[in-house]
Amino acid sequence: MLANLLHSDFGLFAGEAFLALMLGGALLAVRQAVLGKDGPRTRLDLTGPLTLLALLLLFVRPQSGPASANLPGVLVPAALVYLIGLVFGYRPAPWVWRGIALFVVGLIAAQYHGVRIATLKVPFAESWVELGAVGTVLTALWLALFAGLFGRAATIPGVPAGVAALGGLTFYAICRLREDLTTPEGAFFALMLAGACLPQVFLAQHLRRGGATSGGYVIGFLVGVASIIGALKNTALLVAVVPLLIIGAPLFAAYCTYIADLRGSWRAVAHARRLRHLHEILLEQGYSPRQVLQIILGGTLFLCLLAIVLVLLITVSFVIKLLAILIAAVAGLTLFYVVLRMMPRPIQSAEGDQPLSVSLLGVKVHAVTMPQALAQAEKFIREDTPHMIVTSDASGVMRAVDDPEFRDIVNRADLVTPDGAGVILSARLLNIPLEARCSGCDMVVGLCGVAAELGRSVYLLGGAPGVAELAGKKLQEQFPDLRIAGCRDGYFKPEDEPEVLEEIKRTRPAVLFVALGIPRQEKWIREHLEELGVPVSVGIGGSLDVISGLKKRAPVWMQRAGIEWLYRVAKEPSRLPRLAALPRIVVLTFAELLRAPQPVDSADSIRQSQENSR
């Protein structure tokens, strides 16, 4: 049975694919050995020659794959495409010139190498149309389109090789699923291409941005060839869906950009001519090249799977296929949007060392990481004038949405740190680049570190009797230089308040921690801020209970996964009603998204939210 399998088409193809992988890997290893693992990043694009070399070595092997005289010939026009890529890489020219050059190579491939769209299936009918000379022109256009688009997508090294690898595997799967409609040459070529391209995704990280264009042209050209010899000749429109879907994402993005432009003015469109592709928009929005590669390959994988499903549905009615495409499009776009927004992006700071202030559902939040928040607090302490810091979690934001007085207090605070997964989630959905969360507990520890370093003291107010003292001791164990100006529980009577205020004023701490629960602590701080004159006053909720050791904090992995709230509710079921804030913030965020579509440009969105928060 094994012998049968090995001698079957599948065995042969699997062996060839393995060989292609090994070959690609070996070439990669040679390159690494020559340039070193962390060797100089190069502008010289090796993906094109490596792909061609891998394919050439496979084709010259006797009896490898189905006999096909014209396949090795594909490599000649592909090499021409590489030269075109090189020339335009060194001497950039308008896209029309590049298009014409690629079109001419497409004509050569169609005319002399037999890679040709010869027939086309009539939609909704079983008849085929012989294309004749039109087929040659169509082929040239098709190949030029693929080469051009992949060349452009090569701004992010790894995109052409990755998309070609996934596309090649998809073509192969389609050929195997519908052997009656496809050709063995097509299946073979698609698998070879996938094998040759897959290892190069890893090579790509050694290329500088923009250095991979010529390889992108070659790979795009080869994907175009694979789509034609694989199935297009026979299944015409059906398989055309696959590459169109693969390149559809950038085209869709370009279309959206146009629409966005059109909302402005016609003149602006004429001036800007911003036909940007998806990856270009993503880079502008602050995603790293690595993230863009992940996004594009993820999207491609989704589209490839959809293409395979469509092939499986080939015999069902057109209406059902259309429905499947519609459902997949809506689900895919929603998923794409959510994944995109969830990906962390570096926080951009506003002018100077001022942290960027954004508006989340009308409530102010600063886009700061913990070190940035602490640097800001240190500045406040050095200025020695009263400042208020708010740590804002989902329930805090929801309360601010409902309670205008509390909202006003938060919006007037000098620093509002994002605390909690709900806030980060909502911000990211709204295209506001908040990064890690600054939890209340970490804030207390961090601020104590700052105070200790500056030789200043902190005052702990709040919690049940004895808790603040216990927390103070723990903090002093961690920071031996820390001075505790005073401790006071949070259950003092109204008539004792003047005494509490007097004590704080007298001891002159640099930081006043107030743990009375949201929103009481913030209201209390606002009311007494100027009178107390403490440089930094911050509401910290139940942090003293945790720091004192009376309550356990969620394990680090839960904090990292953003599900600390789950742990707190499991420990204290009475907190369950507060959980309502999480679904509420998500629902309100989506409502906000539907009400006001976010600008394409994140800089625009930040500017807008800054204006809103003023």
Residues near ligand UDP (CB under 6 A): 462-464, 490-491, 515-518, 541-542, 544-545
CB of 205 to ligand UDP, least distance (A): 43
Closest CA to 28 of 201, 163, 172: 201
CB of 391 to ligand UDP, least distance (A): 8
Closest CA to 205 of 293, 109, 327, 279: 293
One-letter amino acid for residue 350 of the chain: A
| Residue 289 or 463 with smaller CB distance to ligand UDP | 463
**CB of 390 closer than 8 Å to CB of 416:** yes
What distance separates the 2 farthest-apart alpha carbons in the chain? 98
Closest CA to 226 of 170, 177, 178, 181: 170
**CB of 470 closer than 8 Å to CB of 497:** no
What are the tokens at 104? 């001419």
Structural element, H or E, at residue 539: strand 536-539
Q: How far apart are CA 408 and CA 473, in angstroms?
A: 35
The dihedral formed by the CA atoms of 29, 35, 38 and 41, expressed in degrees to the nearest 10: -110
| Residue 274 or 474 with smaller CB distance to ligand UDP | 474
CB of 448 to ligand UDP, least distance (A): 17
CB of 403 to ligand UDP, least distance (A): 14
| Residue 175 or 518 with smaller CB distance to ligand UDP | 518
CB of 516 to ligand UDP, least distance (A): 5
| Residue 105 or 400 with smaller CB distance to ligand UDP | 400
| Residue 85 or 418 with smaller CB distance to ligand UDP | 418
**3-state DSSP of 14-34:** HHHHHHHHHHHHHHHHHHHHH
Strand, coil or helix: 280: helix
CB of 369 to ligand UDP, least distance (A): 21
**Sign of CA pseudo-dihedral 447, 452, 458, 464:** positive
| Residue 186 or 542 with smaller CB distance to ligand UDP | 542
| Residue 573 or 597 with smaller CB distance to ligand UDP | 573
CB of 467 to ligand UDP, least distance (A): 7
| Residue 53 or 550 with smaller CB distance to ligand UDP | 550
Q: What is the CA radius of gyration of the chain?
A: 31
| Residue 261 or 419 with smaller CB distance to ligand UDP | 419
CB of 175 to ligand UDP, least distance (A): 59
Q: How far apart are CA 259 and CA 281, in angstroms?
A: 14
Q: How many Cβ atoms are within 10 Å of 603's Cβ, its own excluded?
A: 12
CB of 493 to ligand UDP, least distance (A): 11
Looking up tokens 């930081």, which residue turns up? 511
- Bridge partners (DSSP) of residue 515 are 462
Q: How many Cβ atoms are within 10 Å of 498's Cβ, its own excluded?
A: 9
